[in-house]
Amino acid sequence: MSKTITATVIPTVDRLRFLPGIFTARLMIQGEGLTYQQATNLSADYKGGLWTFYRLSNGGGYLAPDTDRRFNVSVQGNDYEGEVSADAFGVIVTLFVFGALCWIDNETLREKFTDHYHQLRDFAKDHTEAGAIFRAID
């Protein structure tokens, strides 16, 4: 029996410590920028805005738009099209970012981002929109 992975919102005062923990101090600006660019690439509905940062109980984390609205997602690489909540959209976007960072030319960082990818993917398995998340990243 596996333990349910939980997500906890990072308080505003701790946000600047969260990004270096997920992306490293050197790559935190690039990682955050990749997140917003990936959101733009995946949804014409995304027009910017505030994001909520989440720490996972398994050591991972993700970012999600801070809104109640839903996003139409279109993934050209696998022909997925669907509508998801902002939280599921954030999981999808962050998985794409970690997937891209897994190819970085540094073995330690490749392992870090691969671990983060799998930690978030494990969380996504129990997400209420798991089916849409996995179709989007497939």
In a domain, 43, yes or no: yes
In a domain, 80, yes or no: yes
CATH number at residue 30: 3.30.70.3580
Question: Residue 40: which domain range?
Answer: 7-137
In a domain, 92, yes or no: yes
pLDDT tens, residue by residue, 48-97: 999 999 999 999 999 999 999 999 999 999 999 999 999 999 999 999 99
In a domain, 1, yes or no: no
In a domain, 113, yes or no: yes
What is the pTM assigned to this prediction? 0.95
- Residue 85 β-bridge partners: 70
Structure tokens at 58: 């398994």
Q: Any idea which residue has 């909520």 for tokens?
A: 52
Query: If 0-12 CB within 10 Å is exposed, 13-18 middle and 19+ buried, where does residue 59 land?
Result: exposed
Segment 5-31 shows an average pLDDT of: 93
Structure tokens at 133: 């998340």
Q: Residue 15's pLDDT is what?
A: 87
In a domain, 2, yes or no: no
Where residue 47 falls among pLDDT bands split at 50, 70, 90?
very high
Where residue 3 falls among pLDDT bands split at 50, 70, 90?
confident
Number of compact structural domains in the chain: 1
Q: Residue 56's pLDDT is what?
A: 98
Considering only residues 98 and 105, tell me which one the structure prediction assigns the higher pLDDT. Answer: 98
Q: Residue 1's pLDDT is what?
A: 55
